[in-house]
């Protein structure tokens, strides 16, 4: 059968989304490798039930406001912050309780998009399109609360590390990777984001024939085609992408087959994504990557109804996946070099809406890793009693429905992570344009 050049290449491609890989060049890794891993909870996780105050006054105020969404005291897993008191994790998160108590997990309380420090009486300067899923997802990933942007703060951080400090210059292996689909968070001006799929190692299906020599001949034929200049810029770009897939194939398959994680990852969407990230991180010693960012995600947090069981299932998946991932970084000897953190569109209202809750603003997040100053809360946890006494001077809530008014901005949260990643203080404003509006630039959790 005669095959056209186009058809031959189509037969060779079983890859999912592959972008901006370029030509791979394998060199020795940087000795001070670091990675940031973002776990995004799409839909707006309800922080009010992920972490609950167990102070008697505050819990009673929480119970009065939450109604049917209230978690009973015996459903809360005890944790303590020496400054802010007794709290409890949602009962589906025992792994997070254990990591918190061992000092490897910190709680970042009441974070949200802010243009400047904001109080109830000063609502004129706020992020655009608050409580809109699409807008707030973009703003959380770009770090810019006043307009759209084409780059994310993860991608810009890798840009900075590469252009200012020379990281990753010896290798064109992906430095900014999202799982399953492209993420704006990973897009930079210099470093483009790459999307990989868990378990997809770019096998070329047409080579799997007998005898093996025939498959090898086909693979060599494909390489000859894609490595030859065509004179057409579009075809050459496609060929470079295909060539990278062919080069990546044995590397990724080798990593998948070489590692037996001592603590198994859950066989869930987020578990599979985090397992794949761990495998890629294991390659840094041979690929010359000094700085990397990763993005993984889980959906279904938009709980307008059925929140009690839906959030329980989601948080259970998150807790088990994060726990397995931290164990994997320890097994790989990079626990102190990998920091994982959560983000979400926004928080939700304290006041329920039927069997669920509505879109809010501020939210609580988790930061995990060997370098994290864990076992404590950062930022100010809102007082539930201020909701029941809401007035125009209150600064814990933005409205009478219990929408948390963020006490810490996303720019402060991200800048703290970026500084650990290697950015100097005088470089942070280029990553987070609104950061100069806030007096504290580093929150100290890592």
302 closest CA partner among 137, 138, 94, 183:
137
Instruction: Look up tokens 């999202």; give the residue.
Output: 178
Q: Are 269 and 298 in contact (CB under 8 A)?
A: yes
Q: Are 363 and 382 in contact (CB under 8 A)?
A: no
**Residues in the chain with pLDDT < 50?**
1-30, 121
Residues in the chain: 446
Number of alpha carbons in the 13 Å side-chain half-sphere of residue 326: 24
For position 6, what pLDDT does the model report? Answer: 38
Q: Fold for 32-197+259-437, please state it.
A: Alkaline Phosphatase, subunit A (3.40.720)
Q: What residues contact residue 230 under an 8 Å CB cut-off, 6+ apart? A: 236, 239
For position 126, what pLDDT does the model report? Answer: 87
For position 23, what pLDDT does the model report? Answer: 40
Assign 3-class secondary structure to 342-393: EEECCCEEEEEECCEEEECCCEEEEEECCCCCCCCEECCCCCHHHHHCCCCC
Q: What is the mean pLDDT of the chain?
A: 87
3 state DSSP class of 244: helix
Cα-based torsion angle of the residue sequence 368, 369, 370, 373 in order, rounded to the nearest 10 degrees = -40
CA distance 281 to 275: 10
For position 100, what pLDDT does the model report? Answer: 98
Residue 421 neighbours by CB distance under 10 Å: 23
For position 288, what pLDDT does the model report? Answer: 81
For position 332, what pLDDT does the model report? Answer: 94
In tens, the pLDDT along 186-237 reads: 999 999 898 888 876 666 666 667 777 776 677 777 777 777 777 787 876 6
């Amino acid at each position: 059968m005669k095959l056209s050049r186009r058809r031959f290449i189509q037969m060779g491609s079983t890859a999912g989304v592959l972008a901006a890989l370029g030509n791979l060049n394998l060199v020795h890794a940087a000795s001070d490798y670091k990675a940031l891993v973002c776990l995004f909870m799409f839909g707006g996780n309800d922080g009010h039930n992920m972490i609950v105050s167990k102070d008697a006054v505050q819990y009673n105020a929480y119970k009065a406001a939450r109604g049917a969404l209230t978690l009973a005291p015996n459903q809360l897993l005890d944790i303590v912050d020496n400054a802010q008191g007794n709290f409890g994790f949602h009962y589906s998160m025992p792994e997070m309780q254990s990591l918190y108590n061992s000092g490897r997990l910190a709680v970042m309380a009441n974070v949200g998009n802010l243009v400047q420090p904001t109080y109830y009486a000063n609502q004129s300067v706020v992020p655009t399109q608050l409580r809109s899923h699409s807008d707030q997802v973009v703003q959380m990933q770009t770090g810019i609360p006043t307009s759209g942007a084409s780059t994310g703060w993860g991608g810009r951080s890798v840009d900075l590390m590469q252009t200012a400090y020379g990281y990753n210059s010896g290798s064109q292996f992906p430095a900014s990777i999202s799982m399953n689909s492209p993420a704006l968070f990973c897009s930079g001006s210099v470093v483009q984001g790459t999307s990989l799929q868990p378990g997809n190692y770019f096998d070329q299906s047409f080579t799997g024939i007998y005898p093996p020599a025939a498959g090898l001949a086909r693979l060599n034929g494909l390489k000859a085609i894609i490595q030859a200049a065509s004179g057409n810029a579009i075809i050459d770009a496609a060929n470079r992408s295909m060539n990278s897939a062919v080069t990546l194939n044995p590397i990724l398959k080798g990593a998948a087959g070489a590692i037996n994680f001592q603590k198994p990852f859950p066989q869930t969407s987020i578990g599979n994504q985090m397992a794949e990230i761990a495998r890629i991180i294991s390659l840094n010693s041979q690929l010359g990557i000094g700085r990397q960012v990763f993005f993984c995600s889980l959906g279904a947090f938009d709980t307008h109804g059925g929140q009690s069981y839906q959030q329980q299932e989601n948080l259970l998946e998150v807790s088990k996946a994060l726990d397995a991932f931290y164990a994997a970084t320890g097994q790989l000897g990079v626990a102190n070099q990998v920091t994982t953190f959560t983000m979400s569109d926004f928080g939700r209202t304290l006041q329920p809406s039927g069997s669920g809750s509505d879109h809010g603003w501020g939210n609580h997040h988790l930061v995990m890793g060997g370098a994290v100053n864990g076992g404590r809360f950062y930022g100010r946890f809102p007082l539930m009693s201020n909701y029941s006494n809401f007035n125009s001077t209150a600064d814990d809530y933005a409205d009478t429905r219990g929408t948390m008014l963020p006490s810490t901005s996303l720019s402060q949260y991200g800048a703290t992570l970026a500084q650990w990643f290697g950015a100097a203080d005088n470089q942070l404003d280029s990553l987070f344009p609104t950061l100069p509006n806030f007096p504290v630039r580093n929150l100290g959790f890592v």
